[in-house]
Chains A and B, each alone.
Chain A
Amino acid sequence: MTSPTRPSLRTRLRRSPEAAGLLWVAPWLIGGAVFMFLPMLLSLWYSLTDYPLLKPPAYVGLANYRELGSDDRFWLVVRNTAAYAAVSIPLMTLLSLVLAAMLTPRMQRSAPGFWRTDRPERLALVAVFIPTLVPMVAAAMLWMWLFNARSGLINTALSWVGLRGPSWLEEPGWALPALVITGLWGIGQGVVIYVAALREVPTQLYEAAEIDGMGPVRRWAFVTLPMISPVILFNVITLTIGAVQVFAMPYILFRNERGQKAAGDFYNLYLYDAAFVYQRMGYASAMAWIQLLVVLGLTGLMLWMSRRLVHYRVG
């Protein structure tokens, strides 16, 4: 029964913005529940069980976490992954910033002629971006070929200047540098983002700095860096999450009969083995939760540390 002054529940629901909003975001809420939230909860439960995939999980308390503590391979992949992140992230950030600075001249966009505009820079930006489009498997095969000890392009080029190149993928000491080089090749996304950020720095700020007598280095340090610092923070967080997750490249580069097994072993390679080769879902889930907490912890730490370093524009 509906009275004329009071609309029915149906009408009220239809008119309520909450009902409409929920309806529109329903795909995300359902998908998030089934493909994110549920798996995460399941994995928290599995991490407390012994779960050999074909049998039901059996509760074992914290046994998986304790076993990880004394698992040599676990600590090896933690060290390797941490080393990769620690070496690659600063190098990638530095190289991206240098390239982005070189790619962002202060020039008119529509002057006559090719060389008077920033079109040469735009072309170079495209060249730097293209490697990020190469499928990881194809990129890994290409780098295997470039790193080839006998007839690879890199060692051939080194021999021209009288150097004998190493067996990049087979000697323990060269696995990490090789992986870092492949990572540096793929910085294009970061460069594009930095270029866009640099283009948004207001020109008046540079003019004011010049009037104040600042040289190019101090202009960079006191104008450019503060202005793009939120973007740098975003990029460093993205790079960190990416470095912790590294999988396809080392999987293909090092998992072959001659590849470097120990130095080329990374966290998610072990996680993959634990889950799908040894079929220890419980153990793999414990590794997954540790990884998640480390990623969230690192992100939180970076956000916290950056409070004083990052400058947000007002308005």
Chain B
Amino acid sequence: MNPPTTTWLRRTLLAAGAALFLLPLVWMLTTSLKPAEQAASGRVTLLPWPITNGVPDFGAGIGERLTEAARQGAANYDAVWSDPSITFPIYLRNTLIVAALSVVGMTLSSAIVAYGLSRIRWRGRGMVLASVLVTMMIPFPVLMAPLYIVFRELGWIGSLKPLWVPAWFGGAFNIFLLRQFYMGLPRELDEAARIDGLGHWGTFWRVIVPLSRPALAVVALFHFIYVWNDFLAPLIFLTHREDFTLALGLQLYQSKAGLTPWNLLMAASSLVFLPVLILFLLAQRAFVQGVAAEGVKG
């Protein structure tokens, strides 16, 4: 049976809505492929026109315009990437260092804590779980001033440590997500492991971790994106420009040059966004399931 007319009406509306959500991103990408004057001209078009004799050739065909987009795009991205005053390669390196250290620490420690909150029965477990839940409601800005003082006393201000060391102690959201997942695994698994002579560590490492790979991947993915996108913590804790992350560097790029043309700003924005987009498209299913698990089972 083919879908009825109402389905098609609904789908037409949906298509328009979906297009509206994607349009800003399409505009970001196309702006980044144009020369500055054409980007700022206010003309709504996806591709740039090639320049002949100093003026845009509005009669150019689609092929020529695609070539021009590739040429101009390459020039724009190169201008951003090799801008000597802003050093995006170094920001990328810093972001990857922080992300790698932070993601490994966050995933491992959250899994360990979640194990203690789900696979071991002990008095006090409920109270610790409650502390995890309450913590989820504390906004980061509430902590930022005193955390700055704590990190200063530890001598971490001016290094990357404030951005990744805390991750090694677990995150409330991720602990809760994994705990919910572990609660759903049958208890017989632990008993079988015990009969095989495994202690808690062996059970965790050889039974629980292999079974929870999808959930661990969700935690790692979400935390990677969180670190990649985070702006406020780097803004507060990073003092040297050579320690900046991409998000902070992007803001510096935007603020220092009030006259930076839009095509370059959009090229820089696309550059920071594209890795996240590619990661998402590769792991789409995990993403959507992870978000859904947060809300429905939470």
Taking the complex as formed, is A304 at the interface, i.e. its CB lies under 8 A from any CB of chain B? no
* Total chain A interface residues with beta-carbon distance under 8 A: 100
Partner of A193, one of B11, B21, B146, B291: B291
Cβ contacts under 8 Å, B10 to chain A: 102, 105
Report the minimum CB–CB distance from B103 to chain A (whole Å). Answer: 15
Taking the complex as formed, is A131 at the interface, i.e. its CB lies under 8 A from any CB of chain B? yes
Cβ contacts under 8 Å, B128 to chain A: 21, 25, 28-29
The digit string for A119-155, where 1 denotes a CB below 8 A from any CB of B, is 0110111111111011111100111111010110100
The reply to whether A24 and B112 form a contact with Cβ atoms under 8 Å apart is yes
Partner of A252, one of B123, B254, B294: B254
The reply to whether A43 and B150 form a contact with Cβ atoms under 8 Å apart is no
Dominant secondary structure at the B interface:
helix
6 closest A-B pairs by CB: A31-B169, A24-B116, A193-B295, A196-B292, A21-B122, A39-B146
A281-308 residues with Cβ-Cβ distance < 8 A to B are 281, 284-285, 288-289, 291-292, 295-296, 299
User: Could you tell me which A residues sit within 8 Å of B by CB distance?
Assistant: 16-18, 20-25, 27-32, 34-36, 38-40, 42-43, 46, 99, 102-103, 105, 107, 115-116, 120-121, 123-131, 133-138, 141-146, 148, 150-151, 153, 156-157, 185, 188-190, 192-197, 200, 231, 234-235, 237, 241, 244-245, 247-248, 251-252, 255-257, 268, 271-272, 275-276, 281, 284-285, 288-289, 291-292, 295-296, 299
Q: Other than A157-B44, A196-B293, give 5 A-B pairs with Cβ distance below 8 A.
A: A127-B18, A127-B19, A131-B25, A153-B44, A193-B294
Report the minimum CB–CB distance from B127 to chain A (whole Å). Answer: 10
Report the minimum CB–CB distance from B31 to chain A (whole Å). Answer: 7
A selection of 9 A-B contacts at a CB cut-off of 8 Å is A21-B116, A24-B115, A25-B113, A42-B146, A135-B246, A145-B28, A276-B236, A281-B146, A296-B137
The reply to whether A27 and B200 form a contact with Cβ atoms under 8 Å apart is no
Partner of A40, one of B40, B146, B246, B254: B146
A/B pair count, beta carbons within 8 Å: 295
The reply to whether B138 and A36 form a contact with Cβ atoms under 8 Å apart is yes
With A137-B250, A137-B272, A197-B295 as contacts: A142 and B266 at CB distance below 8 Å? yes
Partner of B141, one of A38, A146, A231, A291: A291
Bound CA span A248–B265, Å: 17
The reply to whether B113 and A28 form a contact with Cβ atoms under 8 Å apart is yes
The reply to whether B200 and A133 form a contact with Cβ atoms under 8 Å apart is no
The reply to whether A28 and B25 form a contact with Cβ atoms under 8 Å apart is no
With A42-B146, A142-B266 as contacts: A291 and B139 at CB distance below 8 Å? yes
The reply to whether B146 and A46 form a contact with Cβ atoms under 8 Å apart is yes
Cβ contacts under 8 Å, B54 to chain A: none
Cβ contacts under 8 Å, B270 to chain A: 138
Cβ contacts under 8 Å, A27 to chain B: 109, 112-113, 168-170
Cβ contacts under 8 Å, A231 to chain B: 295-296
The digit string for B135-179, where 1 denotes a CB below 8 A from any CB of A, is 101111111111111100000000000000010111000010000
